[in-house]
């Protein structure tokens, strides 16, 4: 929806980006960053698009703006809903579903920590506990050494768990305050 009250670009800003261009760059950047994070590109791009969109978007809008198929758009928006990063926004009198992003970045961080902790850290802890509990032969040479490594890793995982759980529960000001005071 280009604003008709501002149709001609300001000549003094010939090299200035339109908002649309800047948003496109942001979407691209967010998508690229996500790759190293184990989150897939489409999901990250869709999140970025919704983050910088003032209005709620429909599946149709997501498809056309990101140039992806209907199936992909549907699956990905569902996943964002699962993560809690995006909400449904039903428009009165409309059949179609619209979506808006959670814009509070601390809240976004919490959602991401919660999901990734659940999928990765918790899963790893379960496997480690299971492995450590298996009966072994303590007289084998190297048995103690192996269990020491295992124990160290478990301890590390527990610390990470405690810290992440704390971050999730913490209040914004308190958190930033404490952490920054601690390390700066």
Does position 42 interact with DNA (CB under 7 A)? The reply is yes
Smallest gap from Cβ 58 to DNA, in A, equals 6
Does position 19 interact with DNA (CB under 7 A)? The reply is no
Rule CB under 7 A: choose which of 68, 124, 150, 168 binds DNA. 68
Question: What element of type H or E holds 121?
Answer: none
> Mask of contacts with a second copy, 2-41, x by CB under 8 A?
-x--x--xx--x-xxxxx--xx-xx--x--xx-xxxx---
28, 53, 50: which is closest to 41 by C-alpha? 28
Q: How far apart are CA 15 and CA 163, in angstroms?
A: 46
Smallest gap from Cβ 113 to a second copy, in A, equals 11
Rule CB under 7 A: choose which of 53, 74, 109, 165 binds DNA. 74
Q: How far apart are CA 109 and CA 102, in angstroms?
A: 10
**Cβ contact 112:78 at 8 Å:** no
Q: Which is nearer to DNA, 96 or 172 (CB)?
A: 96
Q: Which is nearer to DNA, 50 or 110 (CB)?
A: 50
What are all long-range contacts of 65-71, with beta carbons under 8 Å and residues at least 24 apart?
66/27, 66/42, 68/42
Sheet bearing 86-90, strands edge to edge: 57-58, 97-101, 86-90
Does position 165 interact with a second copy (CB under 8 A)? The reply is yes
Site residues (CB under 7 A) for DNA? 35, 40-42, 58-60, 67-72, 74-78, 95-97
């Amino acid at each position: 929806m280009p604003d008709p009250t501002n149709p001609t670009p300001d000549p003094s800003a010939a090299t200035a980006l339109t908002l649309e261009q800047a948003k496109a760059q942001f979407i691209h950047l967010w998508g690229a960053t996500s790759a190293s994070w184990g989150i897939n590109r489409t999901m990250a791009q869709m999140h970025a698009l919704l983050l910088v969109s003032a209005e709620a978007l429909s599946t149709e809008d997501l498809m056309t703006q990101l140039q992806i198929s209907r199936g992909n758009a549907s699956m990905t928006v569902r996943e964002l809903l699962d993560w809690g990063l995006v909400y449904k926004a039903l428009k009165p009198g409309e059949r179609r579903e619209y979506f808006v992003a959670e814009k509070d970045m601390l809240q976004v961080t919490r959602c991401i920590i919660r999901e990734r902790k659940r999928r990765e850290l918790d899963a790893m802890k379960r496997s480690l506990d299971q492995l450590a509990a298996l009966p072994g032969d303590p007289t084998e040479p190297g048995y103690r050494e192996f269990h020491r490594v295992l124990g160290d890793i478990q301890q590390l995982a527990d610390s990470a768990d405690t810290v992440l759980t704390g971050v999730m529960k913490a209040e914004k000001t308190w958190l930033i305050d404490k952490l920054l005071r601690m390390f700066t």
